[in-house]
Structure 1
Amino acid sequence: MSQQHSELSAQQQLEAYGYKQELKRSVSTTDLLVYGLVFMVPIAPWAIFGTVYNSSRGMVPLVYIVGLVAMIFTALAYAQMAKSIPLAGSVFSYVGRGIHPTAGFFAGWAILLDYLLVPTLLYVFAAESMVGIFPGTPRWLWALLFVAINTVINLLGVSS
Structure 2
Amino acid sequence: MTTRWLTPKEQRAWRAYIAATHLVEDALDRQLQQDAGMPHLYYSILANLSESPGRQLRMTDLAERTKITRSRLTYAVTRLAKDGLVRREDCRWDKRGSVAALTDEGMAVLERTAPGHVGRVRAALFDHLTEEQVGQLEEICAGITRAMETEGSRPATDDVPWRRRSAPPPCG
Q: TM-score, normalised by structure 2?
A: 0.27
Higher relative contact order (CA 8 A, sep 6+): 2
Rg larger in 1 or in 2?
1
The structure where strand makes up a greater share of residues is: 2
Q: TM-score, normalised by structure 1?
A: 0.28
